[in-house]
Every structure is written in C-alpha cells, then in structure tokens.
Amino acid sequence: MSQYDFASLDLNLALVDNLASLGYSEMTPIQAQALPPILANKDVIAKAKTGSGKTATFALGLLNKLDVKRFRVQTLVLCPTRELADQVAVEIRKLARGIHNIKVLTLCGGMAFGPQVGSLEHGAHIIVGTPGRVEEHLRKANLNLDDLTTLVLDEADRMLDMGFQQALDDIISYMPKQRQTMLFSATYPPKIEKTAQRIMQSPVTVEVQDSHSKQSIAQTLYQVESDDARIDAVRLLLQAHQPETTLIFCNTKIETDQVANELRTAGYEALALHGDLEQKQRDQTLVRFANRSASVLVATDVAARGLDIEALDLVINYQIARELEVHTHRIGRTGRAGAQGIACTLHTQKENHKVGLLEDYLKQKLERDDLPPISLLRQPAFSPSMVTIQIGGGKKQKVRAGDIVGALTGADGIPGSEIGRIQVGDQWAYVAVAQAYGNTAFNKLSEGKLKGRNFKVRRLRG
C-alpha cells in the first residue's frame, strides 16, 4: 500500500469509500503530511498554497472525529471571505456524503441575518463562516460553542490582513480551551506566529513547497519606463496573449479602480475587486469573471484570496508584491491542474533591487523580455466569449438550472452547447451564454416564462 493511499490512514471507512467514488486516487503532499497528526487530534499549522488540497485535508480530519448523534456545534471553520466559506462548505458536504445526517451551516456577512438565526435554532454539527458574522451571532447568543471540539482557521494570514484579529480573539473566548486547532495559511508572517502561540497547544508544523513547477508557469519580467507606462504595458500584454481570463494584481485599492477604469476606457470588459465593494457588487463581479463574460479582473491581494477560478490564462503583476511570499501566491493562480500558465511582472528601473530580492527568494533567475510591439495598441480590444444574464427568481421561486436550460433551448432557442455556467441563489439566478447568442438568450428569457411566471431579466454589464 502506498504512503499516499487514503486507506493507509486511520480514516472512517465510509470516508475512504466516498473518496474513491469521488475519484480521489491518492493524497496530495499536504494531505500526506498533515492528516496523520490531524487524525491523532494534534494541533496543526499547515503552510500550503492554493490548489494544494488543503480544504480536503482539514475536512477529512474534522469529519473523521465528528459524532453525528451529538447534534451540537462540534466544528467551526473560519474563512476570510464569503466566497471561500461557500467553497469550503461545498467541499465538506461532498466529502461527508458517505455519512448520513451531517448538517453543515454557513454564516457569512452579506447575507440576510434573520434566516441564519432560524437555521441556528434548528442546530448544526459544523459551522463555516466569516469572523464578523460568526462573532455577531455569538454576541447575540444565537450560536453556542460550548461543545466545540475543532477550530479551523483557513487562510489565516488573509483574515489578519483584513483586520479580523479582534473578531478572532472574541470568537475564541466563547469556545472551550480544550479543543483541536488547525491553522492553514499560504504565508507565515510574524503576526500569524504570535496568534498561533496564543491559541494553539504544542502544534505540529507542516509545510509543502509550491506545487507549481517552473515548467508549469512561464514567468517573465517586463521593464517599463515609468509608473505611467504600466497601463500601456498591460494593454500590450493583453493584445499579444488574447487571454480569456486575466487576473491583474495591484498593491492598492485606488490603483485597482484606476487600472480597471483605464482598461474599460480602452474597450476591455474589465472589473475591479477590492475590499470597498458592497457584497452585491462583489458577487456580481465574481459571477461575471467566472462566467467569462468579463475578460479581466483587477484585484488587490486580499480581495483575490479564496477565488475559485479554473484555468486562469494570464496573471499580470502591475507592481511587484510588497511581500515576496505573496508573489508565489499570485502567480499560483495560473498554471493549475497541469495547464501551462503565464505570469508577467512589470517593474521600473528603480525597482531593479526588488527584482533581485524576488529572484533570491524564488531561487531562480527570471526571464526578461521586451514588451510586444506598440502597434498592437492600434488594434481594437477583444471581447469576452460569454455574456451573463441575471434572472430575478431563484430557489425560493422553485427555479432550477434545468428550467433555465429548457427555456433557452426551446422552440427557436439556442444550442445547449452554447450555455455556460448556471448559478441559482435564493432570489436570483445567473446564466452564461456564448456572446453570439446573447440577444437571442435575453429575448427568450425576458419574453418567455419560467415555472409559468415572467421574471425580470437583465444583462450584467460594466
């Protein structure tokens, strides 16, 4: 039996069987290193990048020790963003399929508070949430952590970056001191170390190196004449590569908005993502980008954490990251799942010392190249491959993905192959369709009926 075989672990047989049915053939390096101490009920600090399999690592650990018959909150998983919390909850539910009657509840900001209170009254085994909302429920006595046995801090570095230290301290004051604590973090700055020392007992530290090889991500440095020349450099790289999805990292919120605005002015479907956005704006931004109806997402590092975007074609560092560890996390967004990724980093001559520090940190000499020819700026900006249509009805109105597909592909409709992602929320639904069929799809949905009803329909733009 291989050391990477899940069956080699002291795991509940139902979990092992379910892993096999899900196609989990063997453990990733982080799972192989972290699961033994986790299953031994030790506190664990795990340093691992996005895409390493860390969610399944702690999910298997907490599910293995869960007592389903005790209908109390036994596990709390804290995440920096609602998007990551939703992803974690989905993964836990998927891994728990072989064990009946496990209830997982998400508690995140940006969602109605009242329904969460009602759900808590019905009880849960596992809570996945963001610090602000979990702390609010504890303060209002809606949530009881007296029976908690496991605490997980996912992407702990970004939680602290986002200012959640006080909320974390408050939450921890509500839970038993005797518990298992797992801390997962892509980077490990001093503030994380201090937090770990304060809340953990003799933790086992596990670290895996970046799972992206030099071959899977082509990194290139481009020198620009000045800060003002950066935006033209971005446009040249976009025109040269014509990527379906590009993530541009900026170091400040102000710059994020400026870059997105400049690109929109130049004709690109570009969106900004940072901490000052309202939740509704953030949700729609992420939907459009994930649906490929916006080609470019310009984001701060904090805002971009927890994004689950597959097959990202291009990452552009508008500036070198302030913290060198963050650079690896940024470029790790591309070149995932065996695909070849492209990462471009812009710098001025004044920043050559930063380039040297970055290469020392990465232990590799990065390729330098000249920017594509300036003549590319005279070509029109390319359009995204899809459009996103919002429907003003969702689960509460009994709208299902199948209903949307049926409405789109009915008489004089569009081919099913031209329909992309469909997401259905409580009061809304989003569907992506190929750009060429955008008008037809919009007319079909706005003039036709879903579940025998007419719903308000609009295209998401700008």
> Cβ of 357: how many Cβ atoms within 10 Å?
13
Average pLDDT over residues 223-236: 96
C-alpha–C-alpha distance, residues 136 and 405, integer Å:
39
Domain identity same for 327 and 203: no
Q: Is residue 46 part of a domain?
A: yes
In the predicted structure, residue 105 carries a pLDDT above the cut 90: yes
Each residue of 182-200: pLDDT tens digit?
999 877 778 788 889 999 9
Tokens (6 digits) for 419:
């329909």
In the predicted structure, residue 332 carries a pLDDT above the cut 50: yes
Domain identity same for 242 and 373: yes
Domain identity same for 374 and 227: yes
In sequence order, the β-bridge partners of residue 103 are none
pLDDT of residue 339: 58
Closest CA to 424 of 448, 451, 444: 451
Domain identity same for 299 and 438: no
Tokens (6 digits) for 260:
């997105």
Give residue 446's domain range. Answer: 386-459
Total count of domains within the chain = 3
pLDDT of residue 82: 80
Q: Is residue 306 part of a domain?
A: yes
Each residue of 402-420: pLDDT tens digit?
788 888 987 778 888 888 8
Which one is predicted more confidently, 329 or 313? 313
pLDDT band at 209 (very low <50, low <70, confident <90, very high): low
CATH of the domain at 60: 3.40.50.300
C-alpha–C-alpha distance, residues 315 and 335, integer Å:
10
In the predicted structure, residue 344 carries a pLDDT above the cut 90: yes
Average pLDDT over residues 40-46: 95
Average pLDDT over residues 92-116: 91
Domain identity same for 227 and 349: yes
Choose the final residue of a domain: 362, 378, 394. 378
Choose the final residue of a domain: 159, 182, 207. 207
User: How would you classify the pairing of strands 126-129 and 367-368?
Assistant: unpaired
φ, ψ of residue 243 to 5 degrees: the values are -75, 150
HSE-CB of 429 using CA atoms within 13 angstroms: 25
pLDDT of residue 211: 46
Domain identity same for 163 and 244: no
pLDDT of residue 337: 47
Average pLDDT over residues 67-82: 92
pLDDT of residue 148: 97
Q: Is residue 212 part of a domain?
A: no
Domain identity same for 317 and 429: no
Q: Is residue 109 part of a domain?
A: yes
In the predicted structure, residue 275 carries a pLDDT above the cut 90: no
Q: Is residue 158 part of a domain?
A: yes
Q: Is residue 1 part of a domain?
A: no
Choose the final residue of a domain: 177, 207, 237. 207
Domain identity same for 363 and 428: no
Each residue of 347-369: pLDDT tens digit?
999 999 999 999 998 888 999 99
Tell me which of 44-53, 208-217, 250-259 is least confident.
Answer: 208-217
In the predicted structure, residue 308 carries a pLDDT above the cut 80: no
pTM score of the predicted model: 0.63
Q: Is residue 153 part of a domain?
A: yes
| Sheet (strand 104-107) strand order | 104-107, 126-129, 75-78, 150-154, 180-185, 44-47, 204-207
Task: Name the 3-class secondary structure at 457.
Answer: strand
pLDDT of residue 322: 87
pLDDT band at 461 (very low <50, low <70, confident <90, very high): confident
Q: Assign residue 425 a region: left if phi > 0, alpha if psi is -120 to 50, beta otherwise?
A: beta
**Percentage with pLDDT > 90 across the chain:** 57
How much is the mean pLDDT over the chain?
88
C-alpha–C-alpha distance, residues 318 and 288, integer Å:
22
Domain identity same for 222 and 203: no
In the predicted structure, residue 173 carries a pLDDT above the cut 90: yes
